[in-house]
Each structure stands twice: as structure tokens, then as C-alpha cells.
Amino acid sequence: MNIEIRVRPGASRTRVGGEHAGRLVVAVQPRAVDGAATEGALRALADALGVRRRHVNLVRGATSRDKVVAVDDDAAADLVARVAALRADAG
């Protein structure tokens, strides 16, 4: 399953939730230097979805705030429902 995300680096705390232009928002503490924000976003997304980090891979957008990540379909049976709940959570 591919998920479009919007990374917000330099946040005061790491959190996953809400939506920006149809993309799931992932706010991370690391700055966008040497891929630290991207790695932080992938780890945060894996935690939020309840899957291991190795099941979440970057497909497109290594140097962009807008990214596409692939989550192994076998990693979680209710993945679609989890993503929908995260998009609805703007808190």
C-alpha cells in the first residue's frame, strides 16, 4: 500500500495525524539535514501504524516534504482503517 505523506521537520514533538492537501501529516523533531527528517518520518509512521520500520519504505520524495512511502500489505491487516483514523486526527 502506498501512502502520501507531508513531512514537517523541526517540530517541537514527533506526531502523526491530520491532513495537508490530501496527504497524511508527519511532524518530526529532526531538521531536514542529511535525511534525518525523512528517517524520522518513516520511523514515526511505522510506530503510528503499528508495524516494524522495515515494513515502511520510501518510494519517492527523498529531498521533498511531500513523499510517497510503501507499507507492506502483509504488515497489518487493518492498515487502511489505521491510515484513515490518522488522517482524521488533527490533534
What CATH number is associated with residue 39?
A: 3.30.1200.10
Judged against a pLDDT cut of 70, whether residue 77 lies above it is answered with: no
Quote the pTM value: 0.89
Q: How far apart are CA 6 and CA 15, in angstroms?
A: 12
The answer to whether residues 71 and 4 touch, using CB atoms and an 8 Å cutoff, is no
Segment 54-61 mean pLDDT: 97
Segment 31-60 mean pLDDT: 96
Could you list the residue range(s) of the whole structural domain that residue 6 is in?
A: 2-88
66 — pLDDT class (breaks 50, 70, 90): very high
Q: In whole numbers, what is the pLDDT of the chain averaged over residues? A: 92
| Number of domains present in the structure of the chain | 1
The pLDDT, as a whole number, for residue 68 is 98
Segment 41-61 mean pLDDT: 95
